[in-house]
Amino acid sequence: MLTKPELKDLLATTKIIAVVGLSADASRPSFEVAEVMQRAGYRIIPVNPRYVGQTILGEPCVASLGDIEERIDIVDCFRKSEDMVEVAKAAVEVTPLPRVLWMQLGVVNEEATRVAHEAGMTVVQNRCLKLDYQALQRSE
């Protein structure tokens, strides 16, 4: 669990957020979270094999984390809990290693957490990046 100072430091030093499972449907939570974070100044990289060759929020969509050439700070995941081990394994193969594996509200997987922790990543489970960001902004 990130403390408030750790979250503040993370968000102050984050530049790129890869959003795994980002939907092009503006009514989906993944789109809303990514849009808010993008408006806040973060670069969003959509990761969804359904939309390869298309853009979401003005950014080209890639099929997998391995297709991203920039340094990823946060891997923000909109996938089912049971899919998270696969996502964690893909995240730890990225070079350089992303700093955080973030599982959105309702997403919890202890095996995925173990995989990411053992590789040196911070893990957040069952929390919304957008809500945490907005709460931090209100408290300042």
Question: Per-residue pLDDT tens for 59-95?
Answer: 999 999 999 999 999 999 999 999 999 999 999 999 9
Mean pLDDT of all residues in the chain? 96
In this predicted structure, what is the pLDDT of residue 140?
74
Q: What percent of the chain has pLDDT over 70?
A: 99
In contact, 65 and 89? CB cutoff 8 Å: no
Contacts with 7 (C-beta within 8 Å, 6 or more apart), sequence order: 132, 136
Q: What is the pLDDT of residues 91-130, one digit of tens each?
A: 999 999 999 999 999 999 999 999 999 999 999 999 999 9
Q: Give the pLDDT of residue 139.
A: 87
4-139: CATH superfamily:
NAD(P)-binding Rossmann-like Domain (3.40.50.720)
Domain boundaries, the chain: 4-139
Q: What is the pLDDT of residue 69?
A: 93
Q: What is the pTM for the complete model shown?
A: 0.96
Q: Tens of pLDDT along 5-47? A: 999 999 999 999 999 999 999 999 999 999 999 999 999 999 9
Residue 140 contacts by C-beta under 8 Å, 6 or more apart in sequence?
none
| Position 126, amino acid | N
pLDDT tier for residue 2 given thresholds of 50, 70 and 90: confident
DSSP string, 11-31: HHH--EEEEET--S-TTSHHH
